[in-house]
Amino acid sequence: MILDYQMNSITTVQPLVQGLWRVTARTDDTLFSAEVTLDIMAPALDIRNARIEVRRDTLGLTPDLSKVSEKLVGVRVGPGMTKIVRGLIGGETGSARIAELVLEAMEMLVNALTVPELRKATQAIGKDIAFPDDGPTVFLNNRVIGTEQAASMAANPRLKDSCVVFRDL
């Protein structure tokens, strides 16, 4: 069957100097293309620089947001960011889609910072498995964090009940 609509998006995280990351989130679909670039600095994880570029807007529905991006400077990655970003970028005169792209960029920094911790945990205390749905010849999940370790991680209030991994343990 031939597709008649496609959406592709990519978000990348690149360290610039120690404690400063550049997060770029780009989305492209049949009707729309935009890119958000945020420079975010530790330890507060606050936005130091922000750029919003709408590259293609076939329907002409997105307002000019080039000036609005400056309002993002100072916003922190952390609790409350969703409401703040939607308030600054979304709403009647803004763009809900761009607001979501900004939030995605901010959330992916958290993911990026989690990768080395999960890699260490998987190597140190992971268990070898052969997940039946992977096979029969190529296994994508040869080593994962086991249920016992997940139970101890669930003691962290930020993780407890956050997803199926940390629920009912």
Partner 1 sequence: MLIYSRMKSVGVQKQGENRRVVSGVLEDELYAMQCEIAVDWPTLTLESVQARMKRFTTERCPLASEVFARAEGWRIDSELDGKIKKELGRMGCRHMAILMVDCCRALARAELARELATALEADPALDKKGLAEDFFRRYPDLKDYLQLV
Q: Which positions lie near partner 1, rule CB under 8 A?
A: 1-15, 21, 29-32, 58-62, 90, 95-97, 104, 108, 111-112, 114-115, 118, 122, 127, 129, 131, 133-134, 140-141, 144-147, 149-150, 161-165, 167
CB of 58 to partner 1, least distance (A): 6
Q: Smaller CB distance to partner 1: residue 74 or 121? A: 121
Q: Smaller CB distance to partner 1: residue 3 or 17? A: 3
Q: Smaller CB distance to partner 1: residue 74 or 152? A: 152
CB of 8 to partner 1, least distance (A): 5
Chain Cα centroid distance, residue 137: 32
CB of 6 to partner 1, least distance (A): 5
Q: Which tokens hold the place of 67?
A: 């000036």
Distance of alpha carbon 114 from alpha carbon 70, whole angstroms:
28
Which of 162, 122, 169 lies closest to 146 in space, CA to CA? 122
Q: Smaller CB distance to partner 1: residue 42 or 96? A: 96
Contact 32, 58 (CB under 8 A): yes
Q: Which tokens hold the place of 80?
A: 């409350």
Structural element, H or E, at residue 121:
helix 96-125
